[in-house]
Amino acid sequence: MAKEAEQTQQETDDLIALLDAADKLPGVKELRALSYELLGAAPGTSAVDVGCGAGCAVAELAERGVKAVGVDPDERMIAVAHTRWPKADFRIAGAYELPLVDSSAHGYRADKVFHELVEPERALAEARRVLVPGGRIVLVGQDWDTFVIDSDDPALTRTIVHARADMTAGPRAARRYRNLLLDAGFGEVTVEVHTGVFIGAAMLPLLAGLAEGACSTGAVTREQTDAWTAEQRARAEVNRLFMALPMFVAAGTAPR
């Protein structure tokens, strides 16, 4: 049990490190700011950030005068968030059972969360419950089948991307955002796509993670994984790495 707990903590710490690195990439902070605007984040309003991770968005919402609550099912993640932002409100909870009373939040935000949910419809029903009439919801995330990566072996790259996508509960949740929101009864639904283009070595950990994930499923061999990762590393060394990643941003309004 102790070994399993230690492994889980390490996995969370690795994820935090990856998220911290991603936060330094071009356009990431701007995309987060867009989500706050769509949320209608203003002084005196309240919001819940579902899957808050290490708490950056909760802290930024608080800076805007929003009474923000961050929830995450990972105890280690919440502990790190408390350490980084001791004055913020963080709670251990999942998307299906939020620790909020009915009609208590003006905004609901979930960034890179819905691809992890087996029952997104259930999460949206919970969002409806906690939002005030006319409250705003914003969903942000990538479609795991649409990583665009330049490679000398397109077929292998396609296999790696799709195999890694299939490891998530809802790899194509982002392309479903609009219909999920409409089916859940939200109105004024909008969807934007903001594509990030990445050409630097900073993306190597993410690319290696895709390949290792595909390898763990048996979709590609160890030899293929190592060769593909080595190619991407070589591309980075000569300024030839290329990855494009569309991020979907959907927003809607709860029924009045």
Residue 249 has pLDDT above 70, yes or no: yes
**What is the average pLDDT across 140-157?**
96
3-state helix, strand, coil in the chain (%, to 5): 45, 25, 30
Amino acid found at 53: G
Residue 242 has pLDDT above 50, yes or no: yes
Q: What tens digit of pLDDT does each residue of 66-106 get?
A: 999 999 999 999 999 999 999 999 999 999 999 999 999 99
Nearest Cα to Cα of residue 19 among 191, 209, 157, 233: 209
Q: What domains appear along the chain, each with residue ranges and CATH number?
A: 1-143+169-197+247-254 (3.40.50.150)
Amino acid found at 85: W
Residue 4 has pLDDT above 60, yes or no: no
Task: State residue 8's pLDDT score.
Answer: 67
Task: State residue 67's pLDDT score.
Answer: 97
What pTM was computed for the model? 0.91
Percent of the chain with pLDDT strictly greater than 70? 96
**Do 230 and 180 form a contact (C-beta atoms < 8 A)?**
no
Amino acid found at 145: D
90 three-class SS:
strand
Distance of alpha carbon 113 from alpha carbon 143, whole angstroms = 11
Distance of alpha carbon 144 from alpha carbon 166, whole angstroms = 8
